[in-house]
Chain A
Amino acid sequence: MRAILAVLLENEAGALSRVVGLFAQRNYNIETLTVAPTEDLTLSRLTLTTTGDQDRITQIIKQLDKLIEVISVTNLCSADHVERELLLVKVRAVDEARQEVKRSADVFRGQIVDVTSDTYTVQLIGPSNKLDAFISTIGDNGADSIILEVVRSGVSGIGRGNHTLSV
């Protein structure tokens, strides 16, 4: 089971290392991690994706909650939520690939944010599985892959409607 954990924590030196350390120490897996201060600069908001059965996810949430600097934790997947991730991908764009990449980027509603004579850099925002689909569409060529570099931001998420995570 995949979980997207939204964590509100004190924006203090060392707080992030406790979160990351907890995962290593207890043999939990981190798939993606993104963190930044909120509009209240004393707080950081962290979104973390992990996998495990229900017992494990519950235990991860409890262990996170036990960290002194963590104010609240929720699993976004347990209710309606919006999930977004940013992808930047640099591809070799020559000959027919130049048109092909442009067409695929349009289909996925991506933008070309940098151009050279033989490369494109495409920016794409969406749920992680949409990003996966785009990468496999343009990169599905084995040894002749045109992908030069992939950068993903990791998942950010927020609950839909009136659900909020606050102090």
Chain B
Amino acid sequence: MTEMLSGGDMLIRSLQDEGVEYIFGYPGGSALHIYDAIFRQQKIEHILVRHEQAATHMADGYARSTGQPGVVLVTSGPGATNAITGIATAYMDSIPMVVIAGQVPRDLIGTDAFQETDMVGISRPVVKHSFMVRDASEIPGIVKKAFHIATTGRPGPVVIDVPKDTTDPAETFAYDYPDSVNLRSYRPAYEGDMDQVKIAVAAILAANRPVFYVGGGVIQADAKDSLRALVRAVGAPVASTLMGLGAYPGTDKLSLGMLGMHGTYEANMAMDDADLVIALGARFDDRVTNNPDKFSPKAKIIHMDIDPASIDKIIDSHIALVGDAQWVIEAIWAEYQSQVKARSAQQSDGQAEHLADWWQQLDGWRKDHGLNHALKPEQGKAILPQLAVQTLYRVTKGEAFVSSDVGQHQMFAAQYYHFDEPRRWINSGGLGTMGFGLPAAMGVQMGSPDAVVACVTGEGSFMMNMQELSTCLQYGLPIKIINLNNQALGMVKQWQDMQYGGRHSQSSYSDSLPDFKTLVEAFGHVGVKVSDATELDAAMEWAFSEENKNRLVFVDVWVDPHEHVYPMAIKGGRMRDMILSKTQTVGSPS
């Protein structure tokens, strides 16, 4: 017998049937029927944040770390607009998310009613798709479509705008959750084209200086095993984007680390000198390519992406592969094996010997300008932010989930915490959203309750969403916050140092910072301040000690405020054009 449910109950039941564990949200007038439906059930836990932006980042962190879509519930008007930054963050990094927004009743839409805003309109440029519920009976079908669209193809956030009267408890409907979705206008490619795969493999076999350029798409597709098998078979180096860190192990000898604006010297030199760039799930972002007209001038480009619109958008490819990263990489690997077999019947030298010269060159670059020099703590000297990340890495044995905010600390974390596994590095790469780090870490911790979760942040970013310390207490989230406190907006200041004659316009607030230790204590947590390099180890050990296993710990690390992030790409140049330190530049400005 079909059950008769109200719109609000159908919405929550649909989420249950979709397997949703958590809803991250904040109630308000237009969403109250839905909140009442949440109250009357036990399957889904609702996490009450302190600001809607944090709800979206929490859902985002949950999605990035678990691979499951994050679910957000907010009310109309300001609830919806506060969610926009988090939706845009998820959109830029292709994160699966379903955002349910309350809306004023249908007969008030368009009348400038209290807490009315055109959520479908205001979110349109930053969603993969959106729905407005026009009739309560549509709710199960819309929820099914929303999850399907959010999680397939190139993932992304989907908004469902729900007018209050469609969730009215007084009106009930026969509930039936659809088993499948069939959208004639949405059929994302999954399998790639085998002919193109064959051409790509022939190009890989013919290359003398190949480099894998690996992005977040490989992580989204859970394709790490295929990627690792392929890379090891070919024996070519791997340069990872900010979003791709961990897809290939950062500590492996074939890894060159991160490429791009603040990438390693060896990764950028390799990209510039390569004769074949194998781009897997990456989109040639401007923070990677530097000047696209001067990008990898000697290279043939293989570009694999699930989104056809990414192909040839910035850089023209020679061989395009559209499809799911897992499918395509596995197909390349299988084809590679069979072509190698066929070839070695005629030739004796394998690909490894064939790449020996290339590796000699790569190792030379790596030796000269690798990031892996040990930074020694010196008494009385300011703590280098890189040292703080290295210490975190050592204390957590490189196994923590690390979220970050945006700025210098983000780049230091990306450079010095060598991720060996995917979905461990959680940061806002595309939109660059300050305030992301803490709520994202909270979402990670919700999804992996027993995991060690660290948030590497800066005092500027942290203060954008620090109200969530209260949420952390409510749900007992034992996150470790590593605050690289340079008493300024570090990356802004760095650019002002380098490009504006050191004029620090509006980038400092050093005389008005809170005492973070007292601040977190007021929220019911514990904190420690470190300003001497020799005390750093002990503070970090204490933060992650058994004693603090179930507590949120805030480590306020006062770092050298004059430190810059290097390497740094020279604007308008080739990838090999980099500033390596305050005194050393290689290549030339355009």
Chain A residues proximal to chain B, CB less than 8 Å: 9-10, 13-14, 17-18, 21, 25, 55, 58-59, 62-63, 65-66, 68-71, 167
Contact = CB atoms under 8 A, between A and B. Distances in A.
A63 B311 CA distance: 11
Contact of A17 (B124, B149, B183, B308): B124
The 3 closest A-B CB pairs, nearest first, are: A62-B309, A68-B129, A71-B185
Nearest to A24: B125
A71 B125 contact: no
B308 A71 contact: no
A13 B130 CA distance: 11
Interface string B406-433: 0000000000000000000000000000
B309 A63 contact: yes
Given A14-B120, A21-B124, A59 B185 contact: no
Interface string B122-164: 0011001110101000000000000001000000000000000
A128 B309 CA distance: 30
A13 to B, nearest CB: 7
Contacts of B134: 13
Contacts of B225: none
B40 interface: no
Nearest to A8: B185
Contact of B309 (A17, A25, A66, A71): A66
Nearest to B149: A68
A71 B130 CA distance: 17
Contact of A55 (B125, B183, B312): B312
Given A66-B307, A68-B149, A18 B185 contact: no
B186 interface: yes
Interface centre among A62, A68, A71, by most chain B C-beta atoms within 10 angstroms, is A68
Given A65-B308, A68-B128, 4 more contacts: A10-B185, A13-B134, A55-B312, A66-B309
Contacts of B184: 71, 167
A68 B132 CA distance: 14
18 contacts: A10-B185, A13-B132, A13-B134, A14-B120, A14-B132, A17-B124, A18-B124, A25-B125, A55-B312, A58-B312, A59-B309, A62-B308, A63-B309, A65-B309, A68-B185, A70-B185, A71-B185, A167-B184
Interface of B: 120-121, 124-125, 128-130, 132, 134, 149, 183-186, 307-309, 312-313
Nearest to A26: B125
A14 B312 CA distance: 29
Nearest to A66: B309
A58 B312 CA distance: 9
A59 B307 contact: no
Contacts of B308: 62, 65-66
Contacts of A167: 184
A140 B186 CA distance: 50
B425 to A, nearest CB: 27
A17 to B, nearest CB: 7
A85 B120 CA distance: 33
Contacts of A10: 185
A13 B132 CA distance: 9
A167 B184 CA distance: 8
Nearest to A55: B312
Contacts of B183: 68
Contacts of A18: 124
A13 B128 CA distance: 16
Nearest to B307: A66
B128 A17 contact: no
B313 A68 contact: no
Contacts of B132: 13-14
A17 B120 CA distance: 10
Contacts of A14: 120, 130, 132
A59 B149 CA distance: 22
A28 B308 CA distance: 18
A21 B124 CA distance: 8
Nearest to B310: A62
A63 B124 CA distance: 14
Contact of A21 (B125, B149, B307, B309): B125
Contact of B185 (A21, A62, A63, A69): A69
A59 B307 CA distance: 12
Contacts of B120: 14
A62 B129 CA distance: 16
Contacts of B149: 68
A71 B309 CA distance: 16
B292 to A, nearest CB: 12
B179 to A, nearest CB: 20
B315 to A, nearest CB: 11
Nearest to A64: B309
B96 to A, nearest CB: 14
A143 to B, nearest CB: 43
Interface centre among A13, A25, A66, A70, by most chain B C-beta atoms within 10 angstroms, is A66
A13 B135 CA distance: 13
Contacts of A25: 125
A17 B286 CA distance: 29
Contact of B313 (A9, A59, A69, A71): A59
A87 B409 CA distance: 61
A9 B185 contact: yes
A117 to B, nearest CB: 44
Nearest to B120: A14
Contacts of B129: 68
Nearest to A71: B185
Contacts of A62: 308-309
A17 B118 CA distance: 13
Interface centre among B121, B125, B309, by most chain A C-beta atoms within 10 angstroms, is B309
A66 to B, nearest CB: 5
